[in-house]
Structure 1
């Protein structure tokens, strides 16, 4: 067990112990509430029967206040217990990241899998066993998509990446804040949906509900109607036809644009819980003190000279609570009497007029904090990993003791340098020796570097390049595309990008494997030579040992590397260490033999 795992285990146990204490407190409060209720009823009834009217009233009020106080305390403890449970679960997830059980996390970003993306499918960025599944702690709709965007769009300036590095490093040190921030998104056990409908409602304006004369009329009219009803039933001095006429008028007033009001108020009600989550998360951001320029700028989206976002979101939360009364069975009658739909629309339109246009910015800011918090897990859990140096102008990929981040401690470290004059690394080696893993290791660390997080390396330096891969290709029956043609389409995109003089980092695994050996060799040779002359860097893995001649033919623009295996006690072993030069070994026949395929000795020789 590593130090980080022990730390999270301790935090998890602390919160579980806290939950036990809170459960005991909840049980005591429940019992106390019941006792107070019965004692209050008995004592008040006893005093009333003894004709102590004032004492009975005083008794009733005292026990009522005490009962309400206990109910409030009981509710507060239950809410804190829920937070404790969520935070203990968060620490359990942190433990699972260390021991390799993170592949069981429910949210793996499967909906973001795109086999046609330039690199995300080949590098396991989304889906089961992916980078997204490993680090994601975002719960809001936009937070998840912000993280998706930062992992699948690597076109950022060096200045922006450096600002993000500073922000992520700062957040990594705010463990308690990050876990509370994550807990706020999880404490209400429901999926936080796309906020587009509530953002649209907040952004739309309707001048009808801001008309001061109309507002005055619709506030006075219900008051008159209710007054006439009270006077009719209380004094009989008012004919029943007057309140009935007023009620009929109000019914007709509720008919115009009823559908529009129903839709707008319905959307607000639908997002009631989401808005409450946003409220809590915004408060946490506003209260926290940040030092990095990137985080301070994000926080400034929530605060201006006139108001704080939390103050306005709180008003929206209160409005959501009263709008939820529309689900009450008595609402139709009350709505007719008080024209509540109009009152709610007046209040909603007033809120929208003041700050409705900022709602998207606020929710977007929450999402950005969630994205950065997810990435900061890497920096905190792996303090020895390296913060990459980003070079803006030159073309370079340089890594020392680099390994695959998703493999954790099982990853084997390698050194790799790709820069002028050698811009292409050609990797040969036996099956299962580590060629594809090295390609993915290089690519996924580059993705992390561009996102602003630490990478699994002792030293890492790179320039800003577009990543292109051609590794996992298969037949697509739906589109009637063979694996070979699918591979050609990917390579076509790489060639097109290189011709446009864009900076490219490419990863090609066993190219043209779907055709005959002669065409494969010729095609690979032409492609590699062509890419070596462009503004590109890249790695190519192959079993075609004859391609090793390209190093000499290209005047060292292409450099040979290989992986090797060794045999012991009639078993095959790999050290997964990258070596210079062309591979001198083969193991396909040996592996076939291990699979049960009988191979004659003279063929093996």
Structure 2
């Protein structure tokens, strides 16, 4: 059996860790599968022995034959229980194997079949659509390791809304602590994959918790003990010929009518409970993982674990284990014969229902809190895995200045390291604009997205794809990717105006705004585009907005003469050889771009210029 700490290799690269895990887990998977196969043959052999025993011993008397059968059944049930444990372990190992195989793909940026989080995209959000935060080949798709709907919701919120400085620092501490607990993180994720808690399960739990308490009167508490005495004594008297079959038959009818009048009340509850019963034991494992989590001095992790505290000094995992056992007893009613016997003679549904109601009264109020704790832990786990996989990334400093953005080797997280070109950049103060000119395909838009995505990660408390990064808290807004909307009869130009209007309204409301703009007013003629862009830039400066603007309109760069302390010119250039071949270095440089390439590109596709 493999130790749960078998894959802590602090000095090895993430790729080496995952590959060694895969190798070890495959060996365990094969061993478990082989043991299950032998277990199946052993059960078959016991069945054959029981049949042979009955055939050879029945003439010696039913007592001897029955004794052998009972021994055989006990052995058979023992093997069944062992097989269930092997099956559960095999399922866990396979999920753990899938986790490591997924990480290998992630290191190679092969994540197109992962959950894209498209449902979180919003065209009205200040930046998520422009920066590819959600959707196919998005930041969320790459970062997410949450296996529950609730966990994905929390992570989406982290990436959609900037946290306070205090929360960011607490998250950074939690993520740094968890990134070093590779064993714990993968165990937690593997159980998460097995549970896969969706909204329907959460709804079923909430529905059960809202059901009114029943069968809690003194009468029923006495009956669950008195009733079995009456029924079993009656059966004993009948078997010993102390009462006639007619009397016992009449008593049996009374028992059936009385007990089954109560089973009808349990049917609705059973239908709800049966839907989430298979998940309870896995959720218990998730809670147990959280109880085992090392928090050190991380306030965020300590707060997370405190949500599991109970007033009676019992652990949340033990409370869920008790719920699982009660639900298992309830599941016995699925067997027709057991259902008839247990309810007729033991008032089974009422007995188990009272146990469930007692559990609900004692622990039910904590269920939602426990689930929310799992969801938040999944979001932390996602960002901690990102940190472990990219140990060359850094955790940003959160500046208290009005606005500071400073970074060394800023890169885009979704571009492979061997293809990515990193850049240094800084912008500081109020009413400052970095104006970036450049040729087509030179890297302007990618650079803007690199700034934006790293700010999103910083505001989520995550590490960023830079060597150094310092940023102030601000409202990040963008207007980069514009599309018309036929359903709303909205043109590309008007769609962009709506985005710019949202920026202006945010500024007027008093919010501190940082803006990323790519090709302002692209949907109109060049004259209006230039005058409109110029007017917008001057307004942003007056309103003390900080912005990074990418444009092909090099004439806007002349505004630096009027505003030398507010506008700073940068560019991405292109080199053209004598055969009109284009070469890009994607490095950000100070000054205005002097070489454009649109005409060359048009000639290359066949436009005669």
Instruction: Choose 225-234 or 294-303, whichever is displaced more.
Output: 225-234
Taking a change above 3 Å as real, the CA distance of residues 34 and 418 of structure 1, as seen in their structure-2 partners, is same
CA distance in 1: counterparts of 2:147 and 2:303, whole angstroms: 22
Question: How far did residue 462 of structure 1 move?
Answer: 0.5
Partner SS for 1:103: coil
From 519, 528, 536, give the equivalent of 1:510.
Answer: 519
Aligned partner of 2:9 in structure 1 is none
| Equivalent in the alignment of 1:42 | 52
Q: 1:235 to 1:367 in 2, by over 3 A?
A: same
Which residue in the other structure is 1:173 paired with?
180
In the other structure, the counterpart of 1:564 is 573
2:133 corresponding residue in structure 1: 125
Aligned residue number for residue 6 of structure 2: none
Matches of 1:533 and 1:206 in 2, distance apart? 61
The separation in 2 between residues aligned to 1:220 and 1:354, in whole angstroms, is: 25
Q: How high is the TM-score relative to the length of structure 1?
A: 0.90
Structure 2 CA distance for partners of 1:264 and 1:508, relative to 1, 3 Å:
farther
Residue number among 195, 199, 212 corresponding to 1:206 in the alignment = 212
The verdict on how the C-alpha distance between 1:514 and 1:331 changes in structure 2, with shifts beyond 3 A counting, is farther
Tell me whether 1:299 sits opposite 2:309 in the alignment: no
Of stretches 236-245 and 482-491 in structure 1, the one that deviates more from structure 2 is 236-245
Q: How many Å separate the matches in 2 of 1:322 and 1:444?
A: 51
Q: Gaps (5+ residues) in structure 1?
A: 600-605
> How far is 1:240 from its partner?
4.5
- State the Cα deviation string for residues 376-414 of structure 1 (Å, max 9, x = none): 112111111111001234311111110001113022100
Kindly tell me: are residues 253 and 303 of structure 1, through their superposed partners in 2, closer, same or farther at Cα, counting changes over 3 Å? closer
> Which residue matches 1:602?
none
1:98 maps to 2:104: no
Cα distance per residue 1:315-360 (max 9 Å; x no partner): 2222322333454445875687365554443222211111111101
SS at match of 1:385: coil
Query: Structure 2: how far apart are the matches of 1:128 and 1:148?
Result: 14
In the alignment, which residue of structure 2 is the partner of 1:275?
Answer: 280
Q: Are the equivalent residues in 2 in contact too, given 1:502–1:535 (CA < 8 A)?
A: no
Deviates more, 1:453-462 or 1:342-351: 342-351
What is the match of residue 403 of structure 1?
Answer: 411
CA distance in 2, matches of 1:241, 1:71: 39
Aligned residues of 1:142 and 1:194 also touching (Cα < 8 A): no
- 1:491 corresponds to: 500
Counterpart of 1:379 in structure 2 is 387
Q: Is the CA contact 1:401–1:414 (under 8 Å) kept in the aligned structure 2? A: yes
By how many angstroms is 1:195 displaced? 4.2
Is 1:436 equivalent to 2:436 in the alignment?
Answer: no
Tell whether 2:24 aligns with 1:17. Answer: no
Q: Which residue of 2 aligns with 1:355?
A: 363
RMSD across aligned C-alpha pairs, in angstroms? Answer: 2.7
Q: Tell me, in whole angstroms, the C-alpha distance in 1 between the residues paired with 2:548 and 2:217.
A: 67
Q: Aligned runs of 1:410-449 on 2, under 5 Å? A: 410-420=419-429, 423-449=432-458
Deviation at 1:434, TM superposition (A): 0.7
With normalisation by structure 2, the TM-score equals 0.90
Residue number in structure 2 paired with 1:603: none
My pick for the range that moved more, 393-402 or 327-336, is: 327-336
**Aligned mates of 2:489, 2:238 — CA distance in 1:** 79
Q: Contact 2:431 / 2:545 at 8 angstroms: preserved in 1?
A: no
Secondary structure of the equivalent of 1:34?
helix
Aligned-residue offset at 1:31: 2.5
Matching residue of 2:589: 579
Alignment counterpart, residue 396 of structure 2, candidates 388, 400, 413: 388
TM superposition shift of 1:211: 2.8
What's the CA shift for 1:67? 3.5
- Note if 1:315 corresponds to 2:322: yes
Q: Secondary structure at the match of 2:112?
A: helix
Match of 1:506, SS state, is strand
SS of the equivalent of 1:273 reads helix
SS at match of 1:486: helix
Distance 2:294 2:17 in 1: 25
User: Post-superposition shift, 1:96?
Assistant: 0.7
CA distance in 2, matches of 1:243, 1:7: 65
Q: Take 1:341 and 1:332, find their aligned partners in 2: how far apart are those partners?
A: 9
In 1, Cα distance between the equivalents of 2:48 and 2:173? 60
Q: Deviations over 1:149-183 (max 9, x none)?
A: 111111x2212111110100111111111111111
Give the number of equivalent residue pairs. 590
Is the CA contact (8 Å cut-off) linking 2:235 and 2:248 kept in structure 1? no
Q: CA deviation at 1:594?
A: 1.6
